[in-house]
Amino acid sequence: MSEMSSRDDGPTFAPPGKAEAREQELIGRVAQGDRIAFEKLYRGYYPRLTRFLDRMTRRPHLVEELLNDTMFVVWERSHTFTYRSRVSTWIFGIAYRKGLQALRDLEDPVDFDFESVSDAGESGPDQQLMRIQLQRLLSEAVDALSAAHRTVIELTYFHGAGYREIAEIMDCPVDTVKTRMFHARRRLRTLLPGGTEGML
């Protein structure tokens, strides 16, 4: 079995690394009804999916339900996994669609809350104040982005996904991902004060 690389300079194929091979083994066992393998997969993805769904929807009360809905699909449809993408790409794609549907069902505005991106080792009063101010500025700026733009930002900066992998997760062309990233970053630059936009 091989996986498609998420590099953006053209499709390449490479054997899966140890972590990916382990996840492929687990998903194969899940497809055969192995509950222990499913529990291992669930525990492994719980923190990552919790963060992703929280960032995407900004509705903490929905995250647990969406995560469980996602993993239920994994359990029910594991036999459809084709091994042509990473297991994480497939699972995050399911989570994205669940989150997107939840947002469509909501009528109220979506909040967004960024953690401080400053060095956690800086603990002086001035540095703490700067982190608080930066967090507020980022929160207000990202709040103005659409769900699709927030998702691209989250997958890129916090999950290290490349454009091709994001395209698979969001089920759209790579060029669409690039366009969304361009507009998201441009929008953030217009909303952030001088000196802070350089982090994007």
* 37 vs 194: CA distance, rounded Å: 49
CB atoms within 10 A of CB 2: 11
On whether residue 142 sits in a domain, the answer given is: no
Question: What is 105-167 written as a DSSP string?
Answer: H--SPPP--PPP-S-TT--SHHHHHHHHHHHHHHHHHHHTS-HHHHHHHHHHHTT---HHHHH
Tell me which residue of 1, 4, 46 sits closest to 24, measured CA to CA: 1
> What is the structure's pLDDT at 5?
41
Q: Mind listing the pLDDT tens digit of every residue in the chain (200 residues)? A: 444 444 444 434 446 689 999 999 999 999 999 999 999 999 999 999 999 998 888 888 899 999 999 999 999 999 999 999 999 999 999 999 999 898 887 754 444 444 434 344 445 666 666 666 666 777 677 777 888 998 998 898 778 889 999 999 999 999 999 999 998 888 888 877 664 545 55
Q: What is the pLDDT at residue 185? A: 86
pTM: 0.66
**Token pair belonging to 99:** 């989150």
CATH number at residue 33: 1.10.1740.10
Please give the tally of structural domains in the chain.
1
Position 108 in a domain: yes
120 in any annotated domain = no
Q: Please report the pLDDT score of residue 126 as a whole number.
A: 65
Residue 18: inside a domain: yes
pLDDT value at position 109?
44
Q: What is the pLDDT of residue 2?
A: 42
Identify whether 63 is part of a domain.
yes
- Distance between CA 179 and CA 15 in Å, rounded? 30
In a domain, 119, yes or no: no
d(CA 92, CA 171): 11
Residue 130 lies inside a defined structural domain of this protein: no
Domain that holds residue 176: 3-113+147-199
In this structure, is residue 129 part of a structural domain? no
Beta strands 13-14; 3-4: pairing state: antiparallel
| DSSP three-state, residue 69 | helix
